[in-house]
A and B are shown apart, each in its own frame.
Chain A
Amino acid sequence: MHRAILALSLLAPVLSWGQGELLEAPPSSVYALQDRAYRLQNEFTVMVGLLPSDPYTKGLFAQGSYAFHFNDYFGIQARGAYSISLPTSLRQQLERDFTILPTAFQRVLFFVGGDLMFRPLYGKLSVINKTVIHGEIHLLGGGSAFAFTDGQVPSLRPAVDIGGGGRLYLGKNASLRLDVVNHIVLAAPGSMSGITNVLAISFGLAVNFGGTE
């Protein structure tokens, strides 16, 4: 009898050990994906950004946005931004040496819009092999209304935008976000002006409410 007990007791650790081996992933093979550590739902973002593509005027803007995330992959975003313009040396030279009037240069005053957000990539990164950070990559596509001004007369023009960005999670409620979006600004209704490209690069802090388990 006591031999049977001894044999059973010896078998028990072997079984547990075998289970442990099953649970441990063999190196370089993926058999399961971990669940996301962070989930988003109601996201408020404050960003600062740059409009670098105009050779005459660079724009520096502040943007606020709200995004609602339906699930881990799709969200919708509304945003509004106000821009201040910084004249480039080319514009200064044209105004100074060639007496071109400042009103000859159109600049972005503000823009508002909405985007669909698709977040196909979520991952974690090891930092110098010491700690782990979580992040994701997203794509954006939407529409905007751009207000331009020459310093005297404002004009409103529609735009479509496409872009993308990334996010690094600081915790379940906060993350850092970088977006790069190209706005294709169409001509104002009844205007002879052509298509203008406005590139927007923005960086900000996002605060999330809900979503994370």
Chain B
Amino acid sequence: MRRLSLVLCVLLASSALAQVQELENPGVTSAIQDRPYRMLHELDIWVGVLPLDAFYVGVYAQLSYSYHFSDRFAWQVGRGAYGLAARTALRGELERTYGVQPTANDEVQFFVGSDVMWKPLYGKLAVLNRAVIHGEVHLLGGATLFRFTNSGFRPGINLGGGGRIFVNKYVSFRFDMTHNIVLPTGGGTTSFGNVMTVNLGLALNFGGND
């Protein structure tokens, strides 16, 4: 009995020691750490540009709300943006250099939409090996309704993606790029349109964290 208890005690010690050795070995990924930041209700305020049109660059402000079902899936329930057009030098160049008078350009005035969000990547980055920041990468797919200055309302489908850097459990910065394929309906248009959006936002999160 005495021997048995001695053997058991020694065995217990060696198994605990093995556990310590496993923890000390940094070269092996044995487990993926749990997320320190989780999202639930997300409110965003954005500024962005529509860089694709050669005749103007749209500058816009946007508001959005997203509901996060889990760590991987979310629904950007609604987003709405209003833009101003900053004309490029191309119109003047066409007039000046080539003697061509361009017709009135169709510009984006405002747009509203909704997206499904998939968040496959979550990680942490070492900043100059001194600090750690947490972030994630997401993909977006959804639909948008555009209001153009000439052709009026036109629907579009969009695909895109972006990233997020967490400041703390309530605040994060988000960067999104989406490409909208505007359908040839409304305003007598017969061709597809392309509208790219590039935006940077401040996100506020309520709930979701442990």
Q: Complex formed: what's the CA distance from A34 to B23 in Å?
A: 13
A6 contacts B120, CB within 8 Å?
no
| Main SS at interface, chain B | mixed
Counting chain A residues whose Cβ lies within 8 A of the other chain, the interface size class is 35 or more
Residue of A nearest to B119 (CB): A128
Least Cβ–Cβ distance between A128 and chain B, in angstroms: 5
A125 contacts B126, CB within 8 Å?
no
Q: Complex formed: what's the CA distance from A10 to B11 in Å?
A: 10
How many of chain B's residues have a CB under 8 angstroms from any CB in A? 43
B5 contacts A6, CB within 8 Å?
yes
Least Cβ–Cβ distance between A64 and chain B, in angstroms: 27
Residue of A nearest to B94 (CB): A94
A9 contacts B20, CB within 8 Å?
no
At the interface, yes or no: B190 with Cβ under 8 Å from chain A? no
Q: Provide the B121-132 mask, 1 if CB < 8 A to any CB of A, else 0.
A: 111111111101
Of A24-32, A147-155, A157-165, the one contacting chain B is: A24-32
Segment 37-65 of B: residues with Cβ below 8 Å from A: 54
At the interface, yes or no: B2 with Cβ under 8 Å from chain A? yes
At the interface, yes or no: B188 with Cβ under 8 Å from chain A? no
Residue of A nearest to B17 (CB): A16
Contact partner, A123, options B2, B36, B123, Cβ 8 Å: B123
Q: What are 12 A-B pairs at a CB distance below 8 A?
A: A13-B15, A13-B16, A33-B126, A72-B129, A94-B98, A98-B100, A121-B127, A122-B129, A124-B123, A124-B124, A127-B121, A135-B123
8 nearest A-B pairs in the assembled complex, by CB-CB distance: A125-B123, A123-B125, A9-B9, A55-B54, A16-B16, A12-B13, A28-B36, A23-B23
